[in-house]
Amino acid sequence: MKNISGEKLLILERRYKQATLVSVVLIGFVIVLGASLSLAQITPIGLARQTVDALWVGVIFLAGGALLVRRVRNRWDFIKDTFILKGLDGTMCRLRNDVVITMLFGVGATVLGVVIFLSDGVRFDLLRAILASVVVMAVSFPRKNIWKRIASE
């Protein structure tokens, strides 16, 4: 890995801090939401079983979709093309946006898990959806050494 100049390092640090802040806030939101709802006493609203099953399919698609989007958007040729067209700042901005998009997929899976929990009142369903969401978010969390490698290329 080549050394990174001062200006490039400032751009990298700024965009990385933004991505990390958004990631930590969203992961914290999911965990606090799950903890508070798992302790709450609710009256189930009683959706049809087919509706709950469709919501579970939505959770699976959001979790899998987040991993697929991350895989597709972080291809090396896409990153090189962005660097050629927009420079380092544009590339770091794109990486930050990709992190935010995949984190929001995880939040969407959590919201569907909350709807499932409110419909049937089973806490384990909520915890399963939150676990899937946190796993997706942990995989999507920005890694500074990879961002540095991209900036030095």
Q: Is the dihedral of CA 119, 120, 123, 129 positive or negative?
A: negative
- The greatest distance separating any two alpha carbons of the chain, rounded to the nearest whole angstrom, comes to 59
Is the Cβ–Cβ distance between 67 and 101 less than 8 Å?
no
State residue 40 phi and psi, 5-degree precision: -80, 150
pLDDT given at position 5: 77
The three-state secondary structure class of 47 is: coil
Q: With a cut of 70, list the residues of the chain below it in pLDDT.
A: 1-2
Distance CA 100, CA 23 (A): 7
Residue 45, pLDDT score? 86
Q: Model confidence over 107-148: pLDDT tens digits?
A: 999 999 999 999 988 889 999 999 999 999 999 999 988 888
Looking at residue 129, its amino acid is A
Amino acid found at 4 = I
- Give me the pLDDT at residue 2, please: 65
